[in-house]
Amino acid sequence: MTIAIITHSDCLKHEMGIGHPERPQRIRAIEDQLITSGIGDFMHYYDAPLATPEQLELAHSRKHIDYIFGKSPPDDSMMAHIDPDTFMNEFTLQAALRSAGSAISAVDKVLGDKTEKRVFCNVRPAGHHAERDAAMGFCFFNNAAIAARHAVRDYGLERVAIVDFDVHHGNGTEDIVGDDPQILFCSTYQHPLYPERALPSKPGFLINAPLPEGAGGAEFRETITEHWLPELNAFKPQLVIISAGFDAHLEDEMAGLRLVEADYAWVTKELRKIADEYSEGRIISLLEGGYDTSALARSVVAHLKVLMNI
């Protein structure tokens, strides 16, 4: 099976300073590994469009949207500080709009013109920490929440699942969709670790499944099997959206989990089974974290190979 890749060169122009872990090389490393692995020839490539302010309002308040637009620096002489580790250069706004636009475009491809079944958005900045009224944690707009709300509002879906295996909890996604009966949010993450905002699980709405520092593949697989899969099967999602963060890899120094490529392949296979059973195979995967570029690129390829049934 082929897979669509949505990306844009604007995502390479967003910079948050020398030495910042969220850097353009992340995208380049993935692109290089797609070529090296040989699977790049079996993909359909698309440019990410710019999300409109109206589309951003699917997940964010107008006040937040206006704030981010207003903070955008006019030139390269300055950088805007959003929080202690989240910054904007003159290209950040365009990149963030491309990231959100990629998620919207992915929904259109699998539900609208139905040209694709599975889509990976190789974009940055990521989105899962962006709350309805706040940017934080390297994130400005919540791509996953925007995509899910777009699928519900504009295509009439009744049940959309967002699943997040980033090493950090998807607090922004929880904030936006945690009480939405049409969207099930499942998250696994290291605890304790930034941002420490996870709420108790609420079956049918929100499933938070924390892992302790040092946990590896066995604990990860047990947690997914025990907490995610029963809820996903009960929910029967018509679309699966993955917040695909790869910073739980043992080579990634951002945190302390010990996953490897085989673990990402395993969870992707389990999610593919869910999508094949209830969603006509439709899966949208959105890049979130992953800061060791080699581990990130290898893990993305392992993830995509399973989505492609290779």
The single-letter DSSP state of residue 12 is G
Question: Do residues 94 and 10 touch, judged by C-beta distance below 8 A?
Answer: yes
Give me 267's structure tokens: 């969870």
Instruction: Give the pairing of strands 183-190 and 206-211.
Output: parallel
By the 8 A CB rule, do 71 and 82 touch?
yes
What is the spatial distance between Cα 187 and Cα 306, in angstroms, rounded to a whole number?
A: 20
Q: Find where tokens 């692109």 sit.
A: 31
Q: How far apart are CA 289 and CA 22, in angstroms?
A: 8
Q: Which residue among the candidates 14, 129, 169, 249 is catalytic per the annotation?
A: 129
**293-307 vs 261-278: helix crossing angle, rounded to 10:** 30
* Annotation marks residue 249 as catalytic: no
- Go through 93-117 and write b for each residue having 16 or more CB atoms within 10 A of its CB, e for each that does not: bbbbbbbbbbbbbbbbbbbeeeebb
**Residues taking part in catalysis:** 129
